[in-house]
């Protein structure tokens, strides 16, 4: 088979994995060798869907022996199959890298024969890249559920980041849709990787030359909307992932109906992109704003309000905390105000040392006043209008929501909506 | 009113700044030669670049204000905007007077535009770390052409010298007619205007096709959003890409 054809097949099989970040590790180049890694990640291009291309995200093979109901590569699906030789992948990565098309490689694979066989071939590729080619660029390696610890240990020496995908938030859903995988097979490697990562970190504090192990940490991904799991289920699992496994990121991927006529799966035509977007915003609140899932969702309110971002949703339900005086409030409180983000909160705290901040000053600092004005006082003054009620504020917040604004009924399914999540790395670049 | 005119180099700029401070008349201007227009009230003074003066300014900035400041002053200088020379000078003067944390005063009439320009230059530099596209020439040298808004070659070169350490490369700023050259050990910047078409390596076209194929295949058609793509890659950069930006290929939409 022609190389071009293989690239096409094995890229299309990999593209639904949404993580493409190349961040989390800073590594200078080595003399006479190729490659380095940038802490904040670098985007090399943006696809017509607006997502950042940073890594060559590709499958080793799509020749799968499993039959996960939601997956285009499942055994029973009639799609063209292809498999790269390690040599082909090594050359492709090097040639793309030399032209500055990519930051590195994100290698994944369908399960060929069995997990260990698959993992072994993947490890062979990264070993060649690192050992023979002296490649110092970024490598993200997917772990295959059920792969042995020995192979994970080898993989971890070469990879900057590894990921085991949860796929679905509950055991029940996994059993239903991916009967050949078990939660155990997914979490055991996570566990193992976490321990090895910590061990290597500790060692490196004593001996700077101690070998690295997955220095950019591990990530995972869940699919949204293929089952009836609630947002509360999903976010609770995410929170657990961050706490128990020190995940760097949890990714959410709206289930795109690649499979038709399966009674197990929803018959939607459109991917639940709006919901995916709201989950990312919630995830953001957990990681950068000091929120806990239980503050936003619970058994009685298991799903997010799709019409506004989760921070507005929370604030609206906790009006008793507001309004807060921007000239005095502690930064943790500022971060709870809709329309104030980590950067603008920092700017407020620093800026108010030079004198009282008024409404105008907040604007210059990047506060989104359309949202914030209902929740703040500037030097004692309230700008949210007279006789504000919860219902009125809600109405305004929905109208002003950047996503809802762009939304008209015909567009509900269109992906023109939620872009920010894909470029989330760059939000922190100034 | 005097105008200190320098030779468009960063060292020249620092020398001019040195004179400006030394003379203590802060109504005076500092201006690079290429931007100087001249008029009746101005009295132009040619500044000759002086390593020692420049070094003293650098030392002062590093000691009193820190590396971040020097970095920003340099970035603003590279913007080549008409207001850049004075923004840097005034910001520095404020820094020396009120201390380095004056940078936090984002509302200040000098600090605000100073930060804005510095950030714009840094943002463009960061984008170009990703957007530069090399092609392999017949000679084995990797060549990239680009035309950044700001004069950022000097910020790009160290990154690529570090990263593409084992290959010789040239990054050509076609708009300014200059290029960064790297020979697997050092880089320098010089003028470059090509008179003949480049001769590419044998496998170059095949590789570009591989890349275009990848680019099309990785797009998720259910999510197509060309507006967002354009927001991420401003139109003025498009023609320097290997892949096609701003269009949907038949394979993508099928
Ligand atoms: S193991 Fe399941 S999810 Fe992975 S490629 Fe095979 S069918 Fe798809």
Do residues B185 and B212 share a domain?
no
- Over chain A, what is the mean pLDDT? 87
Question: What residues have CB less than 8 Å from A363, skipping those under 6 apart?
Answer: A369
Do residues B20 and B103 share a domain?
yes
Chain B neighbors of A101, CB-CB under 8 A: 133, 211, 242
Task: Output the pLDDT for position A412.
Answer: 41
Residue B197 domain-assigned (yes or no): no
Give the whole-angstrom CA distance, residue B249 versus residue B252. Answer: 5
Is the CB of residue A271 less than 8 Å away from at least one CB of chain B? yes
- Express as a percent the part of chain B with pLDDT over 70: 98
Distance between B78 CA and the closest CA of chain A, angstroms: 17
**Does residue B17 carry a pLDDT above 50?**
yes
Residue B108 domain-assigned (yes or no): yes
Distance between A327 CA and the closest CA of chain B, angstroms: 15
**Contact at 8 Å (CB) between B77 and B32?**
no
Do residues B7 and B116 share a domain?
yes
The predicted-structure confidence for A162-204, as pLDDT tens digits, reads as follows 999 999 998 888 888 888 999 999 999 999 999 999 999 999 9
Do residues B89 and B179 share a domain?
no
Q: Is there a contact between A96 and B207 if contact means CB atoms under 8 Å apart?
A: yes
Is the CB of residue A327 less than 8 Å away from at least one CB of chain B? no
Q: Is there a contact between B215 and A430 if contact means CB atoms under 8 Å apart?
A: no
- Express as a percent the part of chain B with pLDDT over 90: 75
Task: Output the pLDDT for position A61.
Answer: 96
**Does residue A415 carry a pLDDT above 60?**
no
Listed residue (A96, A108, A8) closest to A44, CA to CA: A96
Last residue of a domain, one of B90, B107, B124: B124
Q: Which of the two residues, A328 and A400, has the higher pLDDT score?
A: A328
Q: Which atom of ligand 1 is nearest to the CA of A67?
A: 7
Residues with CB under 6 A from ligand 1: A 64, 66, 68, 71, 73-74, 110-111, 178
Chain B neighbors of A52, CB-CB under 8 A: 232
Task: Output the pLDDT for position A160.
Answer: 96
Nearest chain A residue to B143 by CA: give it: A99
Q: Is there a contact between A38 and B107 if contact means CB atoms under 8 Å apart?
A: no
Task: Output the pLDDT for position A259.
Answer: 60
Residue ranges, comma separated, of all CATH 3.20.20 domains in chain A are 3-269
Q: Is there a contact between B243 and A45 if contact means CB atoms under 8 Å apart?
A: yes
Task: Output the pLDDT for position B177.
Answer: 96
Give the alpha-carbon dihedral of B67, B68, B70, B73, to 10 degrees: 180
Q: Is there a contact between A30 and B165 if contact means CB atoms under 8 Å apart?
A: yes
Contacting A residues, span 344-373, partner chain B, CB-CB under 8 Å: 347, 350-351, 353-354, 361, 364-365
Q: Is there a contact between B217 and A273 if contact means CB atoms under 8 Å apart?
A: no
Report the nearest-CA residue for atom 2 of ligand 1. Answer: A68
The predicted-structure confidence for B76-113, as pLDDT tens digits, reads as follows 999 999 999 999 999 999 999 999 999 888 889 999 99
Task: Output the pLDDT for position A18.
Answer: 67
Do residues B155 and B61 share a domain?
no
Chain B neighbors of A42, CB-CB under 8 A: 126, 129-130
**Considering only A14-18, A105-109, A119-123, B156-160, which range has the smallest mean pLDDT?**
A14-18
At A402, the pLDDT band (50, 70, 90 cuts) reads confident
At A411, the pLDDT band (50, 70, 90 cuts) reads very low
Task: Output the pLDDT for position B249.
Answer: 63
**According to the per-residue pLDDT averaged within each range, which of A224-233, A401-410, B72-81 is highest?**
B72-81
**Contact at 8 Å (CB) between A191 and A244?**
no
Q: What tokens appear for B226 in the block?
A: 């060309």
Residues B22-46, mean pLDDT to the nearest whole number: 88
Task: Choose one of A74, A115, A168, A178 to mutate for the ligand 1 pocket test, by most ligand atoms within 8 angstroms of C-beta.
Answer: A74
Residue B196 domain-assigned (yes or no): no
Task: Output the pLDDT for position A236.
Answer: 95
Candidates A34, A46, A354; nearest CB to B164: A34
Where helices occur in chain B by DSSP H, the ranges are: 10-23, 51-64, 67-78, 84-98, 111-131, 153-163, 204-218, 226-232, 250-253
**Does residue A288 carry a pLDDT above 60?**
yes
At B236, the pLDDT band (50, 70, 90 cuts) reads confident
The predicted-structure confidence for A48-103, as pLDDT tens digits, reads as follows 878 889 999 999 999 999 999 888 899 999 999 999 999 999 999 999 999 999 99
At A420, the pLDDT band (50, 70, 90 cuts) reads very low
Contacting A residues, span 80-119, partner chain B, CB-CB under 8 Å: 92, 95-96, 98-101, 103
Q: Does domain A3-269 correspond to CATH entry 3.20.20?
A: yes
**Considering only A221-230, A264-273, A274-283, B117-126, which range has the smallest mean pLDDT?**
A264-273
Task: Output the pLDDT for position B232.
Answer: 87
Domain containing B25: what range?
2-124
Question: What residues have CB less than 8 Å from B50, skipping those under 6 apart?
Answer: B15, B18
Give the whole-angstrom CA distance, residue B69 versus residue A260. Answer: 58
Do residues B176 and B214 share a domain?
no
Q: Which of the two residues, B203 and A264, has the higher pLDDT score?
A: B203
Distances from the Cα of B14 to the Cα of A372, B32, B59, B91, B155, angstroms: 43, 11, 11, 14, 18
Contacts 24+ apart (CB under 8 A), A79-88: A79/A9, A79/A13, A80/A5, A80/A9, A81/A9, A82/A1, A82/A5, A82/A6, A82/A9, A82/A10, A83/A6, A83/A112, A84/A6, A84/A10, A84/A58, A84/A59, A84/A60, A86/A121, A86/A124, A86/A125, A86/A128, A87/A128, A88/A3, A88/A6
Task: Output the pLDDT for position A417.
Answer: 39
Give the whole-angstrom CA distance, residue B120 versus residue A430. Answer: 9
Candidates A29, A47, A98; nearest CB to B218: A47
ipTM surpassing 0.85, yes or no? yes
Do residues B139 and B26 share a domain?
no
User: How many domains are there within chain B?
Assistant: 3
Chain B neighbors of A365, CB-CB under 8 A: 106
Give which of A17, A31, A33, A47 to mutate to test B binding, by max B Cβ within 10 Å.
Answer: A47
Q: How big is the A-B interface in CB pairs under 8 Å?
A: 176
Q: Is there a contact between B126 and A429 if contact means CB atoms under 8 Å apart?
A: yes
Task: Output the pLDDT for position A226.
Answer: 85
Give the 3-state secondary structure of residue A106.
strand
Residues A401-407, mean pLDDT to the nearest whole number: 74
Do residues B65 and B114 share a domain?
yes
The neighbouring-strand residues paired with B170 are: B143, B181
What secondary structure letter does DSSP report for A140?
A: E
The predicted-structure confidence for A306-338, as pLDDT tens digits, reads as follows 889 999 999 999 999 999 999 999 999 999 999
Task: Output the pLDDT for position A428.
Answer: 27
B106 phi and psi, to 5 degrees?
-65, -10
Do residues B172 and B210 share a domain?
no
The predicted-structure confidence for B184-230, as pLDDT tens digits, reads as follows 999 999 999 998 899 999 999 999 999 999 999 988 777 778 888 88
> Got the DSSP string for A327-362?
TT--HHHHTTSTT--HHHHHHHHHHGGGS---HHHH
């Amino acid at each position: 088979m022609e190389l071009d054809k293989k690239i096409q097949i094995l890229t299309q099989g990999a593209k639904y994995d949404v993580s493409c970040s190349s961040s989390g590790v800073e590594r200078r180049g080595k003399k006479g060798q190729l490659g380095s890694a940038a802490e904040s990640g670098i985007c090399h291009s943006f696809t017509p869907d607006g997502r950042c291309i940073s890594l060559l995200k590709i499958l080793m093979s799509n020749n799968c022996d499993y039959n996960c109901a939601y997956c285009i590569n499942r055994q029973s699906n009639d799609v063209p199959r292809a498999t790269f030789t390690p040599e082909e992948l090594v050359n492709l990565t090097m040639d793309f890298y030399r032209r500055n098309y990519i930051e590195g490689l994100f290698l994944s694979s369908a399960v060929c024969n069995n997990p260990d066989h698959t993992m072994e071939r993947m490890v062979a590729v990264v070993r060649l890249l690192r050992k023979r080619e002296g490649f110092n660029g970024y490598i993200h390696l997917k772990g295959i559920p059920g792969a042995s610890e020995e192979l994970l240990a080898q993989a971890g020496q070469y990879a900057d980041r590894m990921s085991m995908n949860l796929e679905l938030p509950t055991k029940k859903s996994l059993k239903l849709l991916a009967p050949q995988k078990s939660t155990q097979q997914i979490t055991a490697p996570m566990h193992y990787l976490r321990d090895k990562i910590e061990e290597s970190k500790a060692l490196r504090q004593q001996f700077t030359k101690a070998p690295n192990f997955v220095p950019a940490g591990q990530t995972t991904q869940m699919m949204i909307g293929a089952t009836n799991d609630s947002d509360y289920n999903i976010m609770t699992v995410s929170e657990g992932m961050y706490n128990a496994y020190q995940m760097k990121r949890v990714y959410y991927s709206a289930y795109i109906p690649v499979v038709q006529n399966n009674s197990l799966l929803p018959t939607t035509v459109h991917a639940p992109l709006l919901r995916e977007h709201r989950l990312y915003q919630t995830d953001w609140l957990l990681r950068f704003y000091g929120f806990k899932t239980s503050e936003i969702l619970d058994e009685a309110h298991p799903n997010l309000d799709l019409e506004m971002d989760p921070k507005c949703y929370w604030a609206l339900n906790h009006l008793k905390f507001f309004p807060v005086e921007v000239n005095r409030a502690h930064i943790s409180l500022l971060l709870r105000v809709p329309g104030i983000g980590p950067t603008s909160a920092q700017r407020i705290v620093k800026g108010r040392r030079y004198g009282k901040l008024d409404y105008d000053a907040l604007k210059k600092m990047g506060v989104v006043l359309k949202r914030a004005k209902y929740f703040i006082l500037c030097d004692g003054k309230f700008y949210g209008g007279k006789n504000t009620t919860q219902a009125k504020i809600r109405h305004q917040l929905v109208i002003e929501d950047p996503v809802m604004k762009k939304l008209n009924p015909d567009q509900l399914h269109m992906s023109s909506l939620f872009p920010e999540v894909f470029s989330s790395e760059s939000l922190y670049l100034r | 009113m005097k105008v200190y005119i320098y030779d468009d180099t960063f060292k020249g700029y620092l020398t001019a700044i040195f004179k400006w401070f030394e003379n203590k008349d802060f109504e005076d201007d500092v201006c690079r030669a290429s931007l100087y227009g001249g008029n009746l009230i101005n009295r132009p003074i040619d500044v000759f670049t002086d390593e020692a003066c420049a070094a003293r300014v650098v030392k002062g900035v590093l000691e009193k204000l820190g590396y971040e400041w020097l970095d920003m002053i340099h970035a603003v200088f590279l913007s080549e905007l008409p207001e850049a020379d004075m923004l840097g000078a005034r910001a520095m003067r404020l820094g020396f007077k009120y201390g380095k944390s004056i940078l936090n005063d984002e509302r200040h009439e000098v600090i605000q535009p100073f930060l804005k320009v510095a950030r714009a230059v840094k943002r463009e530099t960061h984008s170009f770390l990703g957007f530069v596209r090399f092609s392999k020439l017949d000679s084995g040298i990797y060549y990239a052409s680009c035309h950044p808004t700001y004069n950022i070659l000097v910020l790009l070169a160290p990154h690529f010298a570090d990263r593409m350490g084992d290959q010789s490369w040239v990054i050509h700023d076609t708009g300014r007619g200059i290029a960064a050259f790297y020979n697997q050990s050092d880089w320098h910047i010089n003028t470059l205007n090509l008179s003949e078409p480049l001769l590419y390596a044998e496998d170059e076209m095949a590789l570009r096709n591989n890349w275009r194929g990848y680019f099309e295949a990785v797009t998720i058609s259910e999510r197509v959003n060309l507006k967002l793509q354009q927001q991420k890659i401003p139109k003025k950069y498009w023609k320097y890409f290997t892949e096609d930006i701003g269009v949907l290929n038949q394979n993508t939409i099928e």
